[in-house]
């Protein structure tokens, strides 16, 4: 079943078109990486899909609901891990988790149970009673992603989830994301080519607000004749950026 279908999804800001007639289709349980250089339109696409900004034209259907006509239903099914760490500073780790669970309509008992699950899954047990503003950057990032998962989202948006993490924390997070594959639909944006290659089922490459290519890492390498995925990305994204 299709989890996300965009139909000529477009976003214009005054005289600039950030996303131009985007048509993409993502299957349920798929991990889809959206790649592109800065300003390619990835974040604007994510913002439209997560109902944070309304499209100028076109539409996106997420599990049967339109982001234009029924954003509230879409919001019930999705969750977002923003690019920057997004935690409540003066709340403890457990309070942060239970807060998000409560916002997604879990009752107190269920919220506590879900928080326990996330604390275990993300190894947050040692800092469970610590305020978020006292945690290290890596721990805050872990908490931030746990907060995105606590609502059992059917679609999860991970915007550069490993940005700023050390190599061990990054690998741990990769392992966590890998465990989610097939269970929920994940849209991942990242600037790390090896991350996209290691984690995603398919990769979409955006440039100048348009989807330039879609396929597995191997398919994109074959398409461009590149030896590495990074070369394939450069061939597809950078060429478009300079208008070749």
Residues found near other proteins in the complex (CB under 8 A): 50-54, 72, 75-76, 78-91, 95, 99-100, 102-105, 131, 147-148, 151, 157
Tell me how far CA of residue 183 lies from CA of 31, 111, 217, in angstroms: 10, 21, 21
Name the phi and psi angles at 14, rounded to 5: 50, -110
Query: b or e along 148-180 (b: 16 or more beta carbons within 10 Å of the residue's beta carbon)?
Result: bbbbebbbbbbbbbbeebeeebbebbbebbeeb
Least separation in angstroms between CB 179 and other proteins: 22
Least separation in angstroms between CB 204 and other proteins: 21
Least separation in angstroms between CB 115 and other proteins: 13
Where does 19-107 have alpha helices with state H? Answer: 42-49, 71-77, 93-103
The answer to whether 182 touches 105, Cβ cutoff 8 Å, is no
Least separation in angstroms between CB 44 and other proteins: 13
CB nearer other proteins, residue 90 or residue 228: 90
CB nearer other proteins, residue 33 or residue 80: 80
CB nearer other proteins, residue 104 or residue 192: 104
| Distance, CA of 20 to CA of 40 (rounded, Å) | 11
CB nearer other proteins, residue 69 or residue 105: 105
């Amino acid at each position: 079943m299709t989890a996300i279908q965009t139909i000529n999804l477009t976003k214009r800001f005054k005289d600039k078109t950030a996303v131009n007639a985007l048509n993409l289709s993502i299957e349920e349980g798929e991990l889809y990486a959206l790649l592109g250089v800065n300003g390619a339109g990835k974040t604007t696409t994510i913002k439209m899909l997560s109902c944070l900004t309304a499209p100028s034209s076109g539409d996106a259907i997420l599990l049967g609901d339109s982001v234009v006509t029924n954003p509230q239903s879409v919001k019930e099914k999705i969750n977002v891990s923003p690019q920057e760490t997004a935690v409540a500073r003066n709340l403890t780790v457990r309070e942060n988790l239970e807060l998000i669970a409560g916002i997604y309509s879990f009752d107190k008992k269920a919220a506590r149970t879900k928080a326990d699950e996330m604390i275990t899954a993300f190894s947050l047990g040692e800092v469970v009673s610590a305020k978020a503003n006292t945690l290290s950057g890596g721990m805050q990032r872990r908490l931030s992603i746990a907060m995105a998962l606590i609502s059992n989202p059917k679609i999860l948006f991970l915007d550069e989830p490993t940005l700023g993490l050390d190599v061990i924390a990054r690998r741990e997070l990769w392992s966590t994301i890998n465990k989610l594959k097939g269970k929920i639909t994940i849209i991942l944006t990242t600037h790390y080519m090896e991350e996209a290659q290691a984690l995603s089922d398919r990769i979409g490459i955006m440039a100048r607000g348009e989807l330039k290519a879609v396929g597995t890492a191997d398919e994109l390498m074959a398409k461009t004749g590149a030896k590495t995925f990074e070369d394939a990305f450069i061939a597809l994204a950078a060429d478009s950026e300079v208008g070749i």
